[in-house]
């Protein structure tokens, strides 16, 4: 099944402080999606504008990673991104800190293993 969508360009929109931390200019577009997609996104409480912006950023990025995560983590990610206006760039410092902690834990595990070898 082919997925079809139509995008039409509209006016430039400037986000205000009352709409969150976004200070970028946005362009209002019209996007057509299938009914089942719309219903699923509504059920999940996903902000479609935030999701589309995130997907476009991912698509255009020259350095990206893909993580397979639990459904719970994926849902949490979508909630944070779609409801806070956060981007992957906003999340990156937290990911780096988590990776650094993971590396420290693994090094500790390896050091304990090394000390246990007689």
Per-residue pLDDT of the chain in tens (118 residues, 90 and over written 9): 444 444 444 444 444 444 444 556 888 888 899 999 999 988 888 888 888 887 888 788 888 787 888 999 988 888 888 788 787 788 899 999 999 999 999 999 999 999 999 8
In a domain, 110, yes or no: no
Domain boundaries, position 48: 7-86
In a domain, 97, yes or no: no
**Cα atoms in the Cβ-side hemisphere of radius 13 Å centred on 92:** 8
In a domain, 11, yes or no: yes
Question: What is the domain count for the chain?
Answer: 1
Q: How far is CA 34 from CA 1, 9, 10, 44, 112, in A?
A: 12, 20, 21, 16, 54
User: For the purposes of burial, counting CB atoms within 10 Å of the CB of 43, is it exposed (0-12), middle (13-18) or buried (19 or more)?
Assistant: exposed
pTM of this prediction? Answer: 0.51
Q: Which residues contact 71 (CB under 8 A, 6 or more apart)?
A: none
**Alpha carbons 17 and 87: distance in angstroms, whole number:** 17
């Amino acid at each position: 099944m082919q997925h079809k969508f139509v995008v039409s360009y509209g006016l430039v929109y400037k986000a205000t402080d009352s709409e969150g931390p976004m200070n970028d200019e946005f362009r209002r577009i019209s996007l057509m999606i299938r009914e089942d997609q719309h219903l699923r996104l509504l059920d999940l409480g996903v902000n479609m504008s935030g999701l589309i912006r995130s997907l476009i950023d991912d698509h255009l990025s020259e350095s990206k990673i893909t993580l397979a995560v639990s459904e719970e983590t994926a849902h949490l990610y979508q909630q944070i991104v779609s409801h806070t206006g956060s981007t992957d760039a906003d999340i990156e410092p937290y990911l780096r800190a988590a990776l650094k902690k993971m590396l420290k834990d693994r090094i500790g595990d390896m050091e304990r293993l090394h000390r246990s070898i007689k």
